Amino acid sequence: MTTIEAIRDDFAFLDEWEDRYRYVIDLGAALPPFPDESRIETYRVPGCVSQVWLTTKIGDGPDPVVEFRGDSDAHIVRGLVAIMLALFSGRRASEIGATDAEALLRELGLDEHLTPQRANGLRSMVKRIKRDAEAALKQTA
């Protein structure tokens, strides 16, 4: 999976927004296959215009590593899922809670190049990720 640092570097290298959109779509295409049995209401992220599914796997310990898998039925949104997974998945729950996804979106310029519906959907995904990380901390306390 692509790291968030690689995504930042690649975005800095790409000048045109058309190229950046293509790159985001390519990130989504590179996501590992998402299991059909996880495409259920339990894992659906509400607030997204497109269908978005997100599963959470919580590790052990007082500050567990949390891993996410996700998918969408829309190409550009699948790419946004890939960016959020690169930012959050595989990190400790406390780190996830302290991570400012909005700052990353501003840094990449996505905040001003996404439709309001997509931006709201992305915020819903971040909210769900942070909620799951917070629950992981409480579960181990």
Catalytic residues: 48
94: left (phi over 0), alpha (psi -120 to 50) or beta: alpha
Tokens linked to 127: 């909210």
Residue 25 CA to residue 6 CA, distance in Å, equals 15
Query: Exposure string (b/e) for 87-117, b if CB count within 10 Å is 16 or more?
Result: bbbebbbeebeebebeebbeebebeeebeee
CB 93 within 8 A of CB 135: no
